Amino acid sequence: MEKIRQIIYYKHYFDEFFNQQTEKAKSKIDEVLFLISIVERVPKKFLDHMTGTTGLYEIRIELGSNIYRIFCCFDEGRVVVLFNGFQKKTQKTPKSEIEKAEKLKAEYFKQKNK
């Protein structure tokens, strides 16, 4: 199967989140990331723009009653850059997680454009 998008990680944030998860959760995260890399139109259920942000998206993973979110952005259309992830415990995404993701996104583009 041909990949439409390339998924990259910015620094160590995604890895740290990923490594803390159970094998089942890791497998589900891998599944969703794979889907994002091969599907032309990714369903909103898995990937959605974060309201109130500029170009920040969240990857949504559900496993039983557990909900996981991974922040990301697009770079040059076909590259998905992963930032921080967390397990969602409440209805609302914690502001601190969104702010962290926005900071990482700004850092990523600043470093890239040097």
pLDDT tens digits along 7-26: 999 999 999 999 999 999 99
Report the alpha-carbon distance of residue 98 to residue 37 in Å, rounded. Answer: 23
Mean pLDDT along residues 56-85: 95
CA angle 105, 15, 113 (to 5 degrees): 30
Strand partners of residue 86: 69
Residue 77 has pLDDT above 80, yes or no: no
Tokens 């590259």 belong to residue: 79
